[in-house]
Structure 1
Amino acid sequence: MKALFTFFFLAFFGLQNTYAQTSKAIKEDWVPVQKAGVKGGVNVASISNLANSSAFMGVHGGFFGEVQPRESFGYGGEVMYSKQGVTASNIDFGLSYLSVPVFINLYHGKVTFQGGGYGALLFMATAKIGQEKKDLTDNFQTTDYGLLVGLRFRPLDKTFIGARFNLGLQNINNNFTERQNAILRNRNLQISAGYQF
């Protein structure tokens, strides 16, 4: 897991350093912009390869930072809490992650297209039936990673709304199902609103 987060950290700051070195030879009218802010919203999540399952409604929230070295191009990262999971057999299986997405932004007016990846650390998994909860953290892998693609719209200068789909690539199953070789992967649609400082 340390190697995964180290990779995302070096990728994010490596892009910034690369641009700083090459931009000395390029004269542009655009002034690089650095942004930071907060965002949050709802998750519509599921886990692949589970029979008789339906979407799980959760939440996410956290902080973001972005660098926009050119008018049409930038990159950024986030530190997010994300509650996701799946509903199966009338049981809500909730997975709470600390997620670190890293992405490239392509700007077009008030619209931003995003693509990249994420790494996540699981710190709790539960099964909820009515008011009763059971800890299932040991039945899931402690890490997750995957790809992301998103779209963001900025109606006002400092606020935005957006949608993003996270496609998990890691098998998160750790004796959660009777079939120990079952491959389970996270799927998560996030609807967000945010504010830039």
Structure 2
Amino acid sequence: MKALFTLLFLASFSLQHTIAQTSKAIAETWVPVQKAGVKGGVNVASVSNLANSSAFLGLHGGFFGEIRPREAFGYGGEVMFSKQGVTASNLDFSLNYLSVPVFLNLYHGKVTFQGGGYGALLFMATAKMGQDKKDITDNFQTTDYGLLVGLRFRPLDKTFIGLRFNLGLQNINNNFTKNSAAVLRNRNIQVSAGYQF
């Protein structure tokens, strides 16, 4: 009987030790990470359904934050200035937005896949030919929203480069065209570089 109690005690102790070590190993495998940083880059933008139009080159820049609760999964958001637009009829139409993208991240080694959406507030729009510039903010809707999909590569620990496509879903036309019923939507490819604090 004494031997049985001794055996049960040793088995119980071993089981507790094994569970404790396993729990510690699982806990040490991944610790939730919070990150923040800055990013900026180039926009290759356009507006759908405009005849004889071409891409508009602009800039974007701002701040990002991310939470990574799992090794392969996380989510984040950004606050960005984004200069977009379109070139048509020898005029550059510039649309300046404050954009707030939110997205999910899927991590695989140094590569991150992103998908989500964005909301944006238009604070100025201009038409420019040569040195002449005209304010046309009232010809566009004051807000925009859409979907985004992107890819990010981290060559070094704190730096990354990224490629993202923003697909506008809102009709941004507000008597910009002669046909007031025309549906115009933003399209934007962003090439970025960033630094994590």
TM-score between both structures, scaled by the size of structure 2: 0.86
Distance in 2 (alpha carbons) for counterparts of 1:41 and 1:90: 25
Query: Where has structure 1 moved over 6 Å in runs of 4 or more?
Result: none
What is the Cα deviation at residue 181 of structure 1? 0.3
- Matched AA of 1:111: V
Residue-by-residue CA offset, 1:53-108 (whole Å, 9 max, x unaligned): 00000000000000000000000000000000000011000000000000000000
Distance in 2 (alpha carbons) for counterparts of 1:28 and 1:139: 56
Spell out the pairing of 1:49-88 with structure 2 (5 A cutoff).
49-88=49-88
DSSP-derived class of the 1:74 partner: strand
Distance in 2 (alpha carbons) for counterparts of 1:187 and 1:66: 25
Give the structure with higher Rg (CA). 2
What is the Cα deviation at residue 27 of structure 1? 5.9
Identity within the alignment, %: 86
What is the Cα deviation at residue 29 of structure 1? 2.6
- 1:22 alignment counterpart: none
- Matched AA of 1:139: N
Distance in 2 (alpha carbons) for counterparts of 1:88 and 1:42: 20
Spell out the pairing of 1:118-197 with structure 2 (5 A cutoff).
118-197=118-197
- 2:31 alignment counterpart: 31
Q: C-alpha root-mean-square deviation of aligned residues, in Å?
A: 1.0
Unaligned runs of 5+ in 2: 1-25
DSSP-derived class of the 2:29 partner: coil
Residue-by-residue CA offset, 1:123-174 (whole Å, 9 max, x unaligned): 0000000011000000000000000000000000000000000000000000
DSSP-derived class of the 1:138 partner: helix
- Matched AA of 1:106: L
Distance in 2 (alpha carbons) for counterparts of 1:173 and 1:89: 17
- Matched AA of 1:193: A
DSSP-derived class of the 1:170 partner: coil
What is the Cα deviation at residue 28 of structure 1? 7.1
Distance in 1 (alpha carbons) for counterparts of 2:56 and 2:90: 11
- Matched AA of 1:41: G
- 1:19 alignment counterpart: none
Q: How many residues align?
A: 172
Residue-by-residue CA offset, 1:22-64 (whole Å, 9 max, x unaligned): xxxx967310000000000000000000000000000000000
TM-score between both structures, scaled by the size of structure 1: 0.86
- 1:10 alignment counterpart: none
- 1:117 alignment counterpart: 117
- Matched AA of 1:66: E
Unaligned runs of 5+ in 1: 1-25
Distance in 2 (alpha carbons) for counterparts of 1:28 and 1:99: 37
- Matched AA of 2:194: G
